[in-house]
């Protein structure tokens, strides 16, 4: 029930939280532990890359950007989630709700684009090893990273500017956190412009990274089928962590999109709740594990 003393436009109610009694303390502790592990693991690898000059190469700069983004995305979710788990009234102010939307959506965009430029980097390393140092310099890697972050931030600033101005006729968002599409659905005015830009933005978020990923892996697969055994081993060892993280993140984003746009009420509630935060929890956990082992192997063997 909405508190009449608050304006419906000044806050949102998150309707996906259930009354679980004392179990909320268990969920709180699990979430705290997950956040601590994510923060420590990603921060540790960022420090390792920054302090070791031998790792100051394009591949590791892309990894550093990936770890920074994982910290950014998980921080956009976990502190808010922890407060909501312990709270009996699941409300969030409108400004904070839009801020969370911006954080989580830019996180997703940066993650996917970062994985795309990493696939291109691996294509150059595997298919054009003699030209790699000239085609992928440290300066170019910083340019790629800057473009990825700037592109994502500008794109979602436009999204927010369109959505903030919408007059809303309700304030209940059926989710564990604020989601852009669910807020737009509350509007009581024409949302044609928002919907068109949202579809175009989603298409760009998917297609812009997908094209270099497909191009890169088509070339890498060609090497795997026709190259030497050494080239095949290098392709498998360097691409396995990337493919695992790419598939994991794609699955999480796919479910998040499906859940926000379609009625999945037939699915068990706990499973829906877990999968709704999958993309912002499992990816920041998986990246340090997969790439941490690769960094250790490369550093110890002197192969960068």
Q: Is 290 helix (H, G, I), strand (E, B) or coil?
A: helix
pLDDT single digits (tens) 16-73: 887 778 888 998 999 999 999 999 999 999 999 999 888 899 999 999 999 999 999 9
Please report the pLDDT score of residue 299 as a whole number. 62
The Cα 95–Cα 109 span in angstroms is: 21
pLDDT averaged over every residue in the chain: 85
- Show Cβ contacts of residue 266 under 8 Å, excluding neighbours closer than 6 positions: none
- pLDDT tens digits, 103-125: 999 999 999 999 999 999 999 98
Instruction: Please tell me whether residue 228 adopts helix, strand or coil conformation.
Output: coil
Whether 271 shows a pLDDT value over 80: the answer reads no
Which two structure tokens, joined as six digits, stand for 101? Answer: 């939307």
Per-residue model confidence (pLDDT) at position 3:
43
Predicted confidence (pLDDT) per residue in 222-243, tens digit: 877 776 777 677 777 778 888 8
Q: Which two tokens stand for residue 58?
A: 């394009």
Tell me the HSE value of 75 on the side-chain side, using a 13 A CA sphere.
11
Spatial distance between the Cα atoms of 15 and 177, rounded to a whole number of angstroms: 9
Q: Which residue stretches of 165-228 are H helix?
A: 180-184, 192-226
Find the mean pLDDT for residues 241-253: 86
The CATH fold of domain 11-301: Rhopdopsin 7-helix transmembrane proteins (1.20.1070)
Cβ–Cβ < 8 Å for 53, 285: no
Relative to beta strand 172-173, strand 11-14 is parallel
Per-domain residue ranges for the chain?
11-301
Crossing angle of the two packed helices 94-127 and 278-301, in degrees rounded to 10: 30
- Give the confidence band of 300 by pLDDT, cuts at 50, 70, 90: low
* Cα distance between residue 57 and residue 141, in whole Å: 9
Q: What is the pLDDT of residue 163?
A: 86
Report the share of the chain in percent with pLDDT over 70: 91
Closest listed residue to residue 80, CA positions, set 14, 143, 149: 14
Q: How far is it, in rounded angstroms, from Cα 279 to Cα 264?
A: 17
Per the CB < 8 A criterion, the answer to whether 94 and 173 are in contact is no
Token code pair at residue 60: 């590791």
Higher pLDDT, 174 or 136: 136
Contact 180, 105 (CB under 8 A): yes
Taking the model in full, what pTM does it have?
0.89
């Amino acid at each position: 029930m909405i508190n009449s003393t608050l304006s419906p436009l000044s806050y949102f109610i998150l309707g996906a939280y259930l009354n679980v009694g004392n179990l909320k303390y268990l969920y709180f502790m699990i979430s705290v532990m997950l956040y601590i592990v994510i923060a420590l693991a990603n921060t540790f690898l960022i420090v390792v890359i920054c302090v070791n000059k031998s790792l100051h190469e394009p591949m590791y700069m892309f990894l550093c950007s990936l770890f920074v983004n994982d910290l950014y995305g998980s921080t956009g979710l976990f502190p808010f989630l922890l407060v909501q788990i312990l709270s009996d009234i699941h409300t969030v102010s409108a400004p904070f709700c839009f801020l969370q939307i911006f954080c989580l959506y830019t996180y997703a965009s940066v993650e996917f684009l970062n994985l795309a430029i990493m696939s291109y980097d691996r294509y150059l390393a595997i298919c054009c090893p003699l030209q790699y140092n000239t085609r992928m310099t440290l300066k170019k890697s910083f340019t790629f990273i800057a473009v990825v972050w700037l592109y994502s931030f500008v794109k979602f600033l436009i999204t927010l500017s369109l959505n903030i101005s919408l007059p809303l006729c309700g304030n209940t968002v059926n989710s564990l956190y604020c989601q852009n599409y669910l807020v737009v659905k509350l509007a009581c005015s024409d949302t044609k412009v928002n919907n068109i830009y949202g579809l175009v933005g989603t298409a760009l978020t998917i297609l812009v990274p997908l094209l270099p990923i497909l191009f890169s892996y088509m070339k890498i697969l060609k090497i795997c089928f026709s190259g030497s055994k050494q080239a095949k081993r290098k392709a498998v060892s360097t691409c396995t962590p990337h493919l695992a993280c790419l598939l994991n993140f794609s699955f999480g984003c796919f479910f998040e999109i499906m859940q926000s746009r379609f009625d999945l009420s037939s699915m068990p509630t706990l499973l829906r709740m877990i999968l709704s935060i999958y993309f912002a929890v499992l990816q920041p956990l998986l990246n340090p594990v997969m790439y941490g082992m690769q960094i250790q192997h490369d550093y110890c063997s002197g192969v960068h």
